[in-house]
Amino acid sequence: MDLLGWVWPLAISGLAIWMFGQVRASLRGRGRWLTVPMIVALLVFALGGGLTTVTTASAVARAGAGKMIDVGGHRLYIECTGSGGPAVVLQAGLGASSSSWAAIAPTVAPTTTVCAYDRAGHGRSDEIAGPQDGIALATDLHSLLERAGVPGPYILVGHSSGGPYVRVFAARYPDEVAGMVLLDPQPADAFAALPDYPGTYSMFRTVAAVSPSLARIGLLGPLLGLTADESTTAAARGARDEVFALPTALQQAQALTSLGDRPLIVVTAGSGQQAGWLAAQDQTVGLSSASVHRILAAATHNSLISGADIAASSQAILDVLVAIRTGTALR
């Protein structure tokens, strides 16, 4: 497929140019005007496909400050900055990569070690065959941190669907969790707690199924407003597989029913949420007897990690860190 990614845009371009020559030489009137739009469409697809191939190659070749670690049959990218402990581990949302933490990680690194990583099929990490459920993701992360030499217990931070992912990790490795910060986390019981979620998920699944094909011809980014890195064919396949495995991951996240008295802060965006979201966030706060719920009325789901509200998200992480180090209660 990598080789075909370079060949097929050139072949389609050559075919379109040849067709254009034949149309000019042989067709007149309505026949010409019916054929020209098809030729233009072929050229657009070829151009989009060529740009996608170049973007994908650039993303693969891009160097990062972190390192690639073999976790058993495939490698994951992890980038840690700062020093000290407990280490903060950042888990991105559905289909996202470590780059989504670019604004938050530097604000935490002066105080402790902070690590962001790419799940398989995202960012710089290797692709794998087929979807991974929450347990597979937790196993990968556990191996990654161990082999990267990042000692626990950790402060786990999850945004959106990263929330259920870190809950699965905490259920599987409870002794390696010192505290948790959940940034507008997706409820683990979303299919039951959110009346509109089944329909929303069905739409996501449909879009995810065609995303790799749209990415191959360069239309995914323009249609969905994604960055160049998010609209590569590899990223589209990774996001598709995560969407397909999400119901299983959510069910697995429900295995975590309590963090005991370990500090937990849930930061909820109050703007643009679907019915039932705030009530589900309140239930999530009940995971710990030492928890705080911070609702930001003007914040949106994405502004917590890439907009005007990143300071509040960073502060939540630092507050949990201080509570662990000093033994004081959250406020």
| Element at 271 (helix H, strand E) | none
Helix (H, G, I), strand (E, B) or coil at 78: strand
Segment 33-60 shows an average pLDDT of: 59
- Model confidence at 187, pLDDT cuts 50, 70, 90, reads very high
Q: What is the pTM of this model?
A: 0.82
Average pLDDT, the chain: 86
pLDDT score of 193 more than 90: yes
Alpha-carbon span 19 to 295, nearest angstrom: 59
Q: What is the pLDDT of residues 276-299, one digit of tens each?
A: 999 999 999 999 999 999 999 999
Bond before 222 cis per omega within 30 degrees:
no
Structure tokens at 100: 């989504």
pLDDT at 237: 87
Helix (H, G, I), strand (E, B) or coil at 276: coil
Query: In this structure, are strands 264-269 and 154-159 parallel, antiparallel, or unpaired?
Result: unpaired
Segment 235-247 shows an average pLDDT of: 91
SS3 per residue for 215-255: HHCCCHHHHHCCCCCCCCHHHHHHHHHHHHHHHHHHHHHCC
User: Smallest Cα–Cα separation from 92: which of 70, 123, 68, 113?
Assistant: 123
Helix (H, G, I), strand (E, B) or coil at 209: helix
pLDDT score of 212 more than 70: yes
Alpha-carbon span 113 to 89, nearest angstrom: 9
Segment 306-315 shows an average pLDDT of: 93
Structure tokens at 268: 């909820």
**Any residues with CB less than 8 A from the CB of 170 and at least 6 apart, and which?**
156, 177, 180, 256, 259
Structure tokens at 224: 């969905």
DSSP labels for 87-115?
PEEEE--TT--GGGGTTTHHHHTTTS-EE
Percent of residues, the chain, with pLDDT higher than 70: 77
Best mean pLDDT range from 14-18, 77-81, 216-220: 77-81
pLDDT at 95: 86
Lowest mean pLDDT, pick from 169-178, 233-242, 274-283: 233-242
User: For the chain, what is the total number of helices (H) and then of strands (E)?
Assistant: 12, 8
DSSP 260: B
pLDDT score of 40 more than 80: no
**Any residues with CB less than 8 A from the CB of 37 and at least 6 apart, and which?**
none
Q: Alpha-carbon dihedral of residues 173, 175, 176, 180, nearest 10 degrees?
A: 90
pLDDT at 1: 47
Q: What is the pLDDT of residues 124-175, one digit of tens each?
A: 899 898 899 999 999 999 999 999 999 999 999 999 999 999 999 999 999 9
pLDDT score of 227 more than 70: no
Structure tokens at 169: 């990790």
**Any residues with CB less than 8 A from the CB of 44 and at least 6 apart, and which?**
none
Burial 139-150 (b: 16+ CB within 10 A, else e): bbbbebbeebeb
Phi, psi of 140 (to 5 degrees): -60, -45
